[in-house]
Amino acid sequence: PWEPFNRAMFRFNQDLDEGLLYPLSSAYVALVPDLVRLGVTNFFNNAQDLWSAINLLMQGRLEQSVQMSFRFAWNTVYGVAGILDLATELGIERWHEDFGQTLAVWGAPPGNFLMLPFFGPSTVRDAIALPLDIAATPAYAIGEGSFRPVTTVLQILDTRSQLLGATQLLDTIAVDKYSFVRDAYLARRQRLIEDYDRLGDQDNGASPGK
């Protein structure tokens, strides 16, 4: 229903990406050694693990919440603030959860698709959850003013650098990039919610293929 606005925001985001984010992230990949970039990715993933543990607890998934809490504690203490992902080497599974997924588990409908400036594809439900998700990032969770700009820029570069291959794929296969991104986002979010439903079925002894 909001396609004219969404397409305008999509064009804005694409112009911003082509003019600034893509060149910077490409330079980041070219200039920063792989091992250093892996450490940066691990650091931000570790911070996300704690937020995932909190969301799992709010969703009533106690076992997974304890698992993610242990994962965060282990990597933080023994992995140098999460720069080393030692928990994965131990075989501890990662559950990536955000507050939008928690709202979905609580029964909140997704609402219309919404393309946000700067943040990209979303829904009304995910947009409502976004401020809490942002507040849980290292840039905002750590109350140090001088720390915030550095971590914010670094997280943007880290996230964008991991999507360089997806950008090339999108340029190759998508006739209408907006429609492709919209459909892919909605399908992925729905799959994340269905994964939770299937987990509940398994916990209750039902077939995983239900």
pLDDT in tens, 126-154: 999 999 999 888 877 765 566 778 888 99
Query: Which segments of 32-163 does DSSP mark as H helices, in order?
Result: 34-58, 62-78, 86-89, 99-105, 124-135, 138-141, 147-161
| Helix/strand number for the chain, H first, E second | 11, 2
Model pLDDT for residues 39-92, shown as the tens digit of each residue: 999 999 999 999 999 999 999 999 999 999 999 999 999 999 999 999 999 999
Q: What is the pLDDT of residue 175?
A: 80
- Mean pLDDT taken over the chain: 88
Residues with Cβ within 8 Å of 201's Cβ and at least 6 positions away in sequence, in order, are 207, 208, 210
Phi-psi region of 111 (alpha: psi -120 to 50; beta: other; left: phi over 0): left
Please tell me what DSSP assigns to residue 32. S
